[in-house]
Homo-oligomer: A and B are copies of this chain.
């Protein structure tokens, strides 16, 4: 017997619901691609929407799993698109790694697989580090009796996307994790693919992390999306309850799921990869609290919201 499931329709937020969202939520966490911009173009109305939220006293964070740049480095991307944000509003996975180590009062050295973004964030926290771009051209000869020294003071290996990944780095990280007692294994994220260029999808940090999992048989602590650390770090620093924070994203299975897992309020925008058809499909089990055609749809209640605020 074929079961025909009734079609459903999850409505877009009404003006009353938008006002409810703006009243309840004190902090917005934005996924960027598909929400703030599409490719290299800001979505129309986003700058005005961000201005409105800030003038209402809302905190804004822009989240990216890209670890190749620091928060400061990522600002140039925002500014080149005409978006005026501060470094403190950017929550890159490179920053998450440094913030995580700070949160546990880490005092040893870090071995870095990754690019300059991680190094810069560690420097900002005063955490000593080695590896990273400096090991890009190192080679292992594997001649008879070859022995690779490693620093016994390394207490954490941080693995982020690294276009110069090589066997030297893999072996160095493996030695630290296997041989230094208590050495941690931290991943900025495990994304399978990443959009390094608009032309195609590129193997992501899932590859660098997978290489170290494969030689250590250890699972990493992930600090970027979809881990809980970032949410705990934001809610603790602001003194907010989870549902006073809203995750805004264009992907059900990552952004919205991530928000729901953390007990956050969630808003799906239809300006990115998720269509209404996918949202309303009977197979979809991830239902956001609010649905907006695009982030700037909040501007329809701007006047009422500003009065209420």
Q: Which residues of A contact B (CB under 8 A)?
A: 140, 142-148, 162-167, 170-171, 174-175, 178, 190, 192-193, 196-217
Contact = CB atoms under 8 A, between A and B. Distances in A.
A200 B170 CA distance: 14
B207 A208 contact: no
Contact of A199 (B145, B171, B202, B206): B145
Contacts of A162: 167
A70 to B, nearest CB: 18
Contacts of A164: 166-167
Nearest to A147: B199
Contact of A211 (B163, B190, B197, B208): B208
B192 A214 contact: yes
A294 B211 CA distance: 36
This protein's copies in its complex: 2
A170 B207 contact: yes
A165 B163 contact: no
Given A164-B167, A166-B165, A166-B166, A207 B199 contact: no
Which 3 pairs between the two chains have the least Cβ-Cβ distance? A210-B214, A206-B214, A210-B210
A217 B192 contact: yes
A171 to B, nearest CB: 5
Contacts of A200: 147-148, 175
A203 to B, nearest CB: 4
Given A142-B196, A197-B144, A167 B203 contact: yes
A175 B202 CA distance: 8
A212 to B, nearest CB: 7
A255 to B, nearest CB: 19
A188 to B, nearest CB: 13
Given A165-B165, A167-B163, A207-B174, A145 B198 contact: yes
Contact of A163 (B142, B196, B202, B205): B142
Given A165-B166, A207-B215, A210-B212, 9 more contacts: A142-B202, A145-B198, A147-B199, A167-B207, A178-B193, A192-B215, A193-B215, A209-B210, A210-B213
Given A211-B214, A212-B207, A197 B142 contact: yes
B203 A208 contact: no
